[in-house]
Amino acid sequence: DSGVTQTPKHLITATGQRVTLRCSPRSGDLSVYWYQQSLDQGLQFLIQYYNGEERAKGNILERFSAQQFPDLHSELNLSSLELGDSALYFCASTGRGLAQPLNTGELFFGEGSRLTVL
Amino acid sequence: GENVEQHPSTLSVQEGDSAVIKCTYSDSASNYFPWYKQELGKGPQLIIDIRSNVGEKKDQRIAVTLNKTAKHFSLHITETQPEDSAVYFCAARAYGQNFVFGPGTRLSVLP
């Protein structure tokens, strides 16, 4: 158990809809990362938050947004869903005890949220 | 920016044989190289890592080697077992930067 919790584990929805994926990082971790993994693909970095602030952006579509709340949990919002958005979405956390977002720690991944868009 | 290549994309070995997965990176500032194992339906889990001041690291049946000059690092699994079957990802990270992952290697250990 990595200590990173993601909900829901599975989600099936229709094109055009909006969904929210939730992540609770390991206790004390300040940084949260979101990754997308399409079928048989690698891990595509979407976005990183550190202590409530956006830290880095990767290949995140404009239809997607994220935020990190004061209690450090994070949500990834996906809107106007398309068939191609079907994928596993992983949250990872790091940064326990770090005062700066230096990305020096090991990444701990959650079990992922599997999104299916029909 | 950093680019990480990984080979092979798929690898099948007989149980008990060794498996080797190789990665190359482009950014000479990268100094941390972890390997993650992703079992079916699960999130990636760190299995071993190496920092740039070390050339080799071993943990039981798993070892990682790093060649900074050539900018490549490799994962070695000896005496493979069926439970080693998974997708393996390498990654590289420079200090203060984000991780860049390789595309992954699907390892199948045949009984």
User: Is 80 exceeded by the pLDDT of residue A99?
Assistant: no
User: Is 60 exceeded by the pLDDT of residue A69?
Assistant: yes
Is the minimum CB–CB distance between A106 and chain B shorter than 8 Å? yes
Interface test with B, best of A21, A32, A100, A109 (most B CBs within 10 A): A109
| pLDDT band, residue A59 (cuts 50/70/90) | confident
Beta-bridge partner residues of B109? B13
Owner of token pair 């889990």: B45
| pLDDT band, residue A96 (cuts 50/70/90) | low
Q: What are the tens digits of pLDDT across the range B37-79?
A: 999 888 999 999 998 888 999 999 999 999 999 999 999 999 9
| Candidate from B46, B89, B96 with C-beta closest to A103 | B96
* B44 chain-A contacts, CB cut-off 8 A: 43, 90, 109
CA gap A5, A113 in Å, rounded: 10
Is the minimum CB–CB distance between A4 and chain B shorter than 8 Å? yes
| Candidate from A102, A106, A109 with C-beta closest to B43 | A109
Residues B100-106, mean pLDDT to the nearest whole number = 94
Contacts of B14-19 with C-beta under 8 Å, sequence gap 24+, read B14/B80, B14/B109, B14/B110, B15/B80, B15/B81, B15/B82, B15/B109, B15/B110, B15/B111, B16/B79, B16/B80, B17/B80, B18/B76, B18/B77, B18/B78, B18/B79, B18/B80, B19/B75, B19/B76, B19/B77, B19/B80, B19/B84, B19/B107, B19/B109
pLDDT at residue A104 in the model: 58
Yes or no, beta carbons of A56 and B43 under 8 Å apart: no
| pLDDT band, residue A103 (cuts 50/70/90) | low
